[in-house]
Amino acid sequence: MTALSDQIRLLLPPASYDGLAPKLSATIEAEANGLTASDAQIEATYSAIFADSGMGLAEWERVLALPDPCLIGVPQSVRQRVQAVVSKLQARGGQSKPFFIALAKSLGYDITITTFRPARAGSARAGDRLYGGDWNFTWRVSAPDVTVTYAVAGLTAAGDPLASWGNKALECRLSQMKPAESILLFGYGDN
């Protein structure tokens, strides 16, 4: 007998039914088991609605076409995969510095962005770099020399590393999202 079946028995009219009769008891147990299974399915479905829960991760990846083509073959922990899903869901598009900084942050990277402009009469000073030609369309993303992603309880699966290093996910996502006419450079460490 389960706690739920005991609660169902309490709902029976006391004078009309004997909740411990064999056939009625079997029916109550079956109903309690069905309700328990249904409740578990509802919980799983509710959790899968929120991508950051890690539930239904394979389905989220299928819908969002993840992993990105430039990351195929690169091992990723469950946490990195969840970050990629959340990042792709939040990235509605944009071309501003704050947009790309927030995009990198959603992937777990702290970056700064430097833009370049050609020297112009009246604004350039002696000693300034000229940055002619395509420099007007160039921007540089500066990130730490080593970005470490640590395992987090609840978002780590068996076989995931306790820590991983690398900036491949950052380069891949920003290269996909950058404006087509721009030139994106990456700089690591002290730039």
d(CA 71, CA 74): 5
- How long a stretch of residues is the chain? 191
Give the tens place of pLDDT for each residue, 85-95: 988 888 777 88
If you compute the radius of gyration of the chain from its CA atoms, what whole number of angstroms results? 28
Secondary structure class of 96 (helix, strand, coil): coil
Q: Given pLDDT bands bounded at 50, 70 and 90, which one contains residue 152?
A: confident
Q: Residue for token digits 């799983």? A: 44
Give the pLDDT of residue 166.
82
Give the tens place of pLDDT for each residue, 108-145: 899 999 998 777 777 777 777 777 778 888 999 999 88
**What residue segments make up the domains of the chain, in order of their start?**
3-49, 52-188
